[in-house]
Amino acid sequence: MPTLPTPRLTVVGAGPGDPELLTLKGARVLAEADVVLYDALANDELLAYAPTALQIFVGKRRGKRAYSQDEINALIVAQARQHGHVVRLKGGDPFVFGRGREEMLYAEAHGLATAYVPGISSAVAAAGSLGIPVTHRGLSEGFRVLTATTSSGELSGEVLEAARANATTVILMGLSRLEEIMQLFARYGAAQRPAAVVQNGTLPNARLVVGTVATLATQAAAAGIGAPAIIVVGDVVTLATAQATPQQAATILYQYAQVA
């Protein structure tokens, strides 16, 4: 009678979008997987590293069934017990608003061994790929990374704290609340602070809108910016042209001219 494989879970960060930004360890672990459960923010090209694995999409995409977190947790355990090594492939870094440790704790409570492979977070890389650092000498000595809303859907209190501070603020999953967030920053005297939205950062179809807290929501709506996108507020946004392509630079300069 064949020996059943040891049930285990490895949570792997897929990086910010560009498939070449997956870590070497992430690629190796994918190659060893028996099952891969992957999210919408994980680039589909990464599945090529796991050609023999059972591949199950558990994210949210239009026209496809979305799994609840409870269903994903149960699926991890069931697939590990049946097949062995489950790799949970998550966009960015699983420990930055990715529920990575939450899934590991559930798996551990059900007898699975677990491991974590970090990924490059979009909180830094998405804007960085277009020349916007989160810190820069003379402009920003620190940064905050926030989720826009709480688990109940309310605007996070951390956004209010960020609006009162001068550090660079990076907000994930906040595009649908962009106008409300910018109004909050403006209320605390930051209306003219540089601000940007980055869509699909690190990918060839990346889009960047640059303006101020007072203008960004209107600009992003006019440009048709959609998810996935991050919001950046702070003086570092003025460096946006440093690594942008000529086409992106022209867009940035045009938008600055409008709000000057």
Catalytic residues: 39, 60, 173
**104 three-state secondary structure:** helix
Contacts of residue 78, defined as CB under 8 A and 6 or more positions apart, other chains included, come to: none
Q: Give the pairing type, strands 229-233 and 168-172.
A: antiparallel
Q: Give the pairing type, strands 8-13 and 85-90.
A: parallel
The label of the residue with tokens 């059900």 reads 110
State the distance between the two ends of the chain, measured CA to CA, in whole angstroms: 74
Strands (E) across the chain are located at 8-13, 35-38, 54-57, 85-90, 113-117, 143-147, 168-172, 194-199, 207-212, 229-233
What is the token pair recorded at 233? Answer: 């507020």
Contact (CB, 8 A) for 22 and 61 = no
φ/ψ (deg, to 5) at 163: -65, -25
**168 three-state secondary structure:** strand
CA distances for 81 relative to 58, 110, 170, angstroms: 18, 10, 39
Q: Give the pairing type, strands 143-147 and 8-13.
A: unpaired
